[in-house]
Homo-oligomer: A and B are copies of this chain.
Amino acid sequence: MTSESVQRRVTVADVAAEAGVSAATVSKVLNGRADVSASTRAQVETILSERGYVPTKRTRRATAAAEGRGGLIEMVFNDPSTPWAAEMIRGAEEAARAARAAIVVSVLERGPKRVQQWLEDVAGRGSRGIVLALSDFSPADQKRVAKLGLPTVLVDPVGDFDTDVPSIGAGNWGGGMAATKHLIELGHRRIAVITGPMRFLCSQARLAGYRAALERAGAGSDPELIAHGDFHYASGVASTLELLDRPDPPTAIFAANDEQAMGVYAAIQRRGLRVPHDISVVGFDDVPMSQWISPPLTTVRQPIAELAALAVRTVLAQPHRAELPQTRVELATALVVRDSTAPPPA
């Protein structure tokens, strides 16, 4: 090996020629592929090392792609500042970072023109895949996204969704069931629910879980105790005030998310009542805040960060959309009992 050969950059072709193999075989060794014999691999690796081979930027990229490393993953929200989104971002970022990938956080505004612009931008930056964490996403927009041909995963999809696209969500039905069963076991019979928007699948599933628990207990559900909220604080306040002003108010309220449960607290306090002495409250989500409020909230823990991490790993594992299994994966929820639930007043 002369000093001249050191000064010129050593290429894959040089290494292939010296080893007496094809350039494709050298690439396979560089990419850690299994379909190379052990003796050829050892020989190529020795030459790569002796000749001081430094991969080009293009080769580094190809290697990273072959190993499932690197690149950008699009995460799309309606609002990235909710506690739910914050947990999603935390989980997704961690999973992406473990693979030396990174996440782009975007808000997707409605309308074909906005979606089209966003798709152009995504194509322009060469993203590897898309995680949709949207509460509203029309079938037409889903078709537009599908045309990109990128691996796409819906996280906890909350409306009608194209069954071609795999989705990852929490066990909403089981969570609604567990929350209601807990209240029944404490002795409550008049249990109200404040739902999320009914166009969201997760709202429908939580309500169905609530109904199933009541039916299993032989209680049946009273339509007067089903209030329809929108997952926001103000709807928790308004729905609770209406429920409390009924001639036969409930002794417990299951709020279908934690933000609404905070509204339930405020309304109960406004009527001069106390949680859980006068009325029990259960939430859904287990955002960090739920343990800081007074009293700490009994709630259904959604593995939000885990859902997002799984979505990112699913996207990273699939170089081609066609290979994504058309599945719905559900991660289990768990009831976290804190201080907002107690037996009903005597």
Q: Are B103 and A105 in contact (CB under 8 A)?
A: yes
Q: Are B81 and A89 in contact (CB under 8 A)?
A: yes
Q: Are A105 and B89 in contact (CB under 8 A)?
A: yes
Chain A, range 75-128, C-beta contacts under 8 Å to B: 79-83, 85-87, 89-90, 93-94, 97, 100, 102-107, 109, 117, 121, 124-125
Instruction: Determine how close the nearest CB of chain B comes to the CB of A132; give it in whole angstroms.
Output: 15
Taking CB atoms, residues of chain B closer than 8 Å to A294 are 265-266, 269, 293-294
Name A270's closest neighbour in chain B (CB-CB).
B294
Q: Are A124 and B269 in contact (CB under 8 A)?
A: no
Taking CB atoms, residues of chain B closer than 8 Å to A90 are 79-81
Q: Are B106 and A262 in contact (CB under 8 A)?
A: no
A171 CB-CB contact with B under 8 Å: no
Q: Which of B83, B93, B262 contacts A107 (CB 8 A)?
A: B93
Mark A266-291 against chain B: 1 for CB-CB distance below 8 A, else 0: 10010000000000000000001100
Instruction: Determine how close the nearest CB of chain B comes to the CB of A62; give it in whole angstroms.
Output: 13
Q: A80-B93, A86-B81 in contact; A72/B293 too (CB < 8 A)?
A: no
Name A92's closest neighbour in chain B (CB-CB).
B105
Q: Taking the full assembly, how many copies of this chain does it contain?
A: 2
Spell out A's residues near B (CB within 8 Å): 57, 61, 70, 72, 79-83, 85-87, 89-90, 93-94, 97, 100, 102-107, 109, 117, 121, 124-125, 233, 259, 262-263, 265-266, 269, 288-289, 292-294, 305
Q: In the docked arrangement, what's the CA distance between A293 and B261, Å? A: 11
Taking CB atoms, residues of chain B closer than 8 Å to A105 are 89, 93, 102-105
Q: Are A70 and B103 in contact (CB under 8 A)?
A: no
Q: Are B106 and A93 in contact (CB under 8 A)?
A: yes
With A81-B89, A81-B288, A269-B294 already in contact, 16 other A-B pairs whose C-beta atoms are closer than 8 Å: A70-B121, A70-B124, A72-B125, A81-B90, A83-B289, A85-B86, A93-B106, A102-B106, A103-B105, A103-B106, A233-B292, A259-B292, A262-B289, A262-B292, A265-B294, A289-B289
